[in-house]
Amino acid sequence: MSTLFTPLKLRSLQIPNRVWMSPMCTYSAAPAGPETGAPTNFHLAHLASRAVGGAGLVMAEATGVRPDGRISPWDLGLWNDRQQEAFARITDAIKAHGAVPAIQLAHAGRKASVDKPWLSDRYVPGTEGGWQPVAPSAIAYDGLAVPHELTVDEIQQLVRDFADSALRALAAGFQVAEVHGAHGYLINSFLSPASNHRTDAYGGGFENRIRFALEVVDAVRAVWPEDLPVFFRTSATDWLTENPEDSREGWTGEDTVRLAKELTAHGVDLLDVSTGGMVRDAKIVAGPGYQVPFAAQARQATGIPTGAVGIITDPHQAEEIVTSGQADAVLLGRELLRDPYWAQHAALELGVEPRWPDQYAYVVKRAPSRPRTP
């Protein structure tokens, strides 16, 4: 029996397996007009195909809780009826193919209003449809615009914006809401001393720097059904303190353990553990499973269920991660872009019957098997 292909129950929600699709921005929404921020036919095909491909949970990419919370003018948003209606079509398709639909609610903070990454990484000014980014402190991300330092009233409005988007996500049919607290975006920039230089209740010591994150979680949890889970994505480290040549103060794995304990107390059901994104020049030694130890550290220290990410490409590697208790699930990104049917192929490799749709199964089961190609 493969642990990777056993269900995981969080609250009353049973997720059919531990192979999940990680949220990945595709920069494919309309930048202006009545369809601004709404998912398109591309998003429908992109997300539903991974459900057909056997993923147990399919998470929609970082979705802005307000127009100026998007990473780029081409990102998804969830602040109006049209966006909500378009998402409902997608959640129906994901559920129809046996997967759980999830959404990552986000605000890009000081990394907002940038170009599509395959064109450039430049800031998009207001004259080209962009906007001024916001942050806990007026400290620019390298090469981007200096952000507006948020007032306390503006911070409280952002908390309400997350709750409003969570309500819309529920109405659109999502069963998991993930709060995006990673990769240098707004919540992460409050957490890290590298980007938060405030001296009020939202800055300074650890308890103040995590205040905004907990307020957002509380607001989302208050409107999200008691029987459905809330996730939190974290960057477990800024990769600053790991470099002895870097004197900058940053967020650490130990900080993540402390935060995980608080998140558990505030109703978070799973910690989705990534790393980095706070500074452009962080020295990261990447390799297969390089971020998994951070998920294992949080899980072992606090008991919170975790999701592991980062160059997880082989079925046996993924099986070992969950079987050994390093994480409760693996979230695949690039590997599911390369192969939307990775989960089905992994099931075969691990001796498990794939969850093919009926339209495929009667053909696939008759066809002679062949080795997986890289």
pLDDT digits (tens, 9 = 90+) for 66-113: 999 999 999 999 999 999 999 999 999 999 999 999 999 999 999 999
* pLDDT attached to residue 139: 97
Report residue 116 as tokens: 């599509």
pLDDT at 235: 98
Q: Quick check: 369 pLDDT over 70? A: no
Domain positions in the chain are 3-364
**CATH code matching the domain that covers 3-364, chosen among 3.40.50.11540, 3.30.9.10, 3.20.20.70, 3.40.50.300:** 3.20.20.70
Taking residues 27-48, report their average pLDDT: 97
Which DSSP category does 165 fall into?
A: H
Mean pLDDT (the chain) is: 95
Backbone angles phi, psi at 231, to 5 degrees: -105, 165
Q: Are 272 and 331 in contact (CB under 8 A)?
A: yes
The token duo for 91 is: 């959640």
Query: What's the rounded Cα separation, in Å, for the pair 105 and 224?
Result: 13
Structure tokens at 117: 């990454």
Query: Residues 27, 123, 141, 185: which is the catalytic one?
Result: 185
Q: Looking at residue 242, what is its pLDDT? A: 80
Pairing mode of beta strands 8-10, 13-15: antiparallel
What DSSP designation does 122 have? -
CB atoms within 10 A of CB 3: 18
Q: How confident is the model over 231-248, as pLDDT tens digits?
A: 999 999 999 988 777 778
Cα distances from 173 to residues 40, 60, 94, 100, in angstroms, run: 17, 12, 10, 10
User: Could you read off the pLDDT of 109-160 as tens digits, one per residue?
Assistant: 999 999 999 999 899 999 999 999 999 999 999 999 999 999 999 999 999 9
Lowest mean pLDDT among 11-20, 155-164, 242-251, 353-362: 242-251
- More confident call, 364 vs 194: 194
Gap between the Cα atoms of 262 and 150, Å rounded: 24
Is residue 185 part of the annotated active site? The answer reads yes
CA distance 119 to 141: 19
Confidence of residue 367 (pLDDT cuts 50, 70, 90): low
Q: What is the pLDDT of residues 174-203, one digit of tens each?
A: 999 999 999 999 999 999 999 999 999 999
| DSSP helix, strand, coil percent of the chain (3-state; round to 5) | 35, 15, 50
Q: Is the pLDDT of residue 373 over 60?
A: no
Phi, psi of 203 (to 5 degrees): -150, 170
**φ, ψ (nearest 5 deg) of residue 38:** -85, 140
> Which pTM was predicted?
0.95
CA pair distance 233, 248, nearest whole angstrom: 23
Q: How far apart are CA 64 and CA 25, in angstroms?
A: 11
Question: Helical H runs in 286-371?
Answer: 292-302, 315-323, 334-338, 342-349, 358-364
Based on the number of CB atoms within 10 Å of its own CB, is 243 exposed (0-12), middle (13-18) or buried (19 or more)?
middle
Residue 3 has pLDDT above 60, yes or no: yes
pLDDT in tens, 275-295: 999 999 999 989 999 999 999
Q: What pLDDT is attached to residue 361? A: 86
Angle between helices 342-349 and 315-323 (to 10 degrees): 80
Average pLDDT of 1-21?
Answer: 97
Q: Given pLDDT bands bounded at 50, 70 and 90, which one contains residue 368?
A: low
